[in-house]
Amino acid sequence: MKSMLRREWKNALCIVIGLLCAAAGYKLYLIPNRIVSGGFTGVGQLVNHFLPGITVGTVNAVLNIPLFLVSMRSMGWSFGLRSLIAMLGLSLLIDWLPLPPATDDMLLASVYGGVVSGIGFGLVLRGNATTGGTDMLSSLVHRLVPVLRVSVGIFAVDGLIIIASAILFEAQAAMYGLISAFILNVLVDVVLEGPNTAHSYFIISDRSERIAEQILREMDRGVTALDAMGMYSRTRKQVLLCVVNRFEAMRLRRIVFSVDPRAFVIANKAHEVLGEGFKDGE
């Protein structure tokens, strides 16, 4: 019970901080400079330009609410309700958060707007919620038309919104919008998965036991032996799997090749590693 409450408080904190960051990115940088990076907030910016009485947040809420009503059951009531509250909170903050424009430099606005908003949306997702938008619309369309992939739908909808901004505002603003959209999506991934600080190594060697013993003794890292067979030689071998952080990578290589200079090593970047010695899984 305590762990569940702690997890919910952690989720709530992530969502609140994330909403404040996302709204700040729009209020400080994107909206004042007419930089549209896609999404329903982008539609709100376009509508607000021609109908100033209709706010960006209002358009975001009006477009999202029908999607939530249709998707709530499939999302699960807990996740869906949390997400609905987050979406409404973002809409209100975009309209009412008292922040003045931070800069009128388009490049700075596109970069910082993407960074701040990306961190915000990433935190909301880490809090086990979503603010809806084109992601939810594309997921819904995919369920109705399975041949249309979600990623294609997101790209198509956001692309059309940015193209519309080029026509209604100016082409240069749309170019900055693409920069902002790219940075925003990269930052969302970084917040969700963390930077690539870990590497997984597959080690194929005739001296796998000695290599494993030395890794365990010198590095205090776990090693897993996987049974395998070389199809050319038809001989059975043990493939070692070891995950280390980036600071330990060169040390691992030194151990492997000092034991067996003919070892075959495959290194992969691990986007996220959960468990002992790395990030907590909760």
- Write down the pLDDT at residue 27: 96
Amino acid at 269: K
Domain that residue 61 falls in: 2-193
pLDDT tens-digit series, residues 92-114:
999 999 999 999 999 999 999 99
CA distance 76 to 80: 6
User: For a pLDDT cut of 90, what percent of the chain falls above it?
Assistant: 44
Amino acid at 183: I
10 Å Cβ neighbour count for 269? 10
Q: Left if phi > 0, otherwise alpha if psi is -120 to 50, otherwise beta: which for 36? A: beta
Mean of the pLDDT values across residues 74-94?
87
pLDDT reading at 207 higher than 80: yes
Phi then psi dihedrals of residue 230, to 5 deg: -70, 120
Q: What sections of the chain are H helices per DSSP?
A: 2-25, 39-50, 56-75, 77-96, 106-126, 134-144, 150-168, 171-193, 208-219, 249-259
**Diameter of the chain by CA atoms?**
75
Element (H, E) at 71: helix 56-75
DSSP 265: E
- Write down the pLDDT at residue 278: 63
Same domain, 188 and 202: no
- Residue 275 located in a structural domain: no
- Please name which of 32, 15, 9 lies closest in space to residue 131, comparing C-alpha atoms: 15
Mean of the pLDDT values across residues 227-234?
84
- Residue 104 located in a structural domain: yes
Total domains, the chain: 2
Q: How far is CA 279 from CA 113, 195, 213, 215, 254, in A?
A: 29, 12, 25, 21, 25
Residue at a domain's end among 193, 224, 259: 193
Look-up: residue for tokens 């009128």? 104
- Residue 121 located in a structural domain: yes
Q: Residue 266 sits in a domain of what CATH number?
A: 3.30.70.120
Same domain, 99 and 234: no
CA distance 198 to 272: 7
DSSP helix/strand/coil, 228: strand
Same domain, 123 and 42: yes
Same domain, 139 and 9: yes
DSSP 248: T
Same domain, 207 and 153: no
Same domain, 215 and 187: no
Structure-token pair, residue 8: 């919910």
- Residue 66 located in a structural domain: yes
- Please name which of 267, 118, 105 lies closest in space to residue 196, comparing C-alpha atoms: 267
- Residue 281 located in a structural domain: no
CA distance 163 to 197: 37
Residue at a domain's end among 166, 193, 220: 193
Residues facing 40 on adjacent strands: none
* Backbone Cα Rg of the chain: 24
- Residue 280 located in a structural domain: no
Q: How far is CA 235 from CA 207, 209, 249, 262, in A?
A: 14, 16, 29, 16
CA distance 11 to 14: 5
pLDDT higher at 223 or 72: 223
Same domain, 241 and 129: no
Same domain, 141 and 251: no
Same domain, 152 and 217: no
Using alpha carbons only, what angle is made at residue 210 by residues 207 and 214, rounded to the nearest 5 degrees?
140
pLDDT tens-digit series, residues 2-59:
667 888 888 899 999 999 999 999 999 999 999 998 889 999 999 998 898 999 999 9
Residue at a domain's end among 193, 227, 243: 193
Same domain, 132 and 246: no
- Mode of pairing for the β-strands spanning 264-270 and 235-245: unpaired
Residue 245 pLDDT level (bands cut at 50, 70, 90): confident
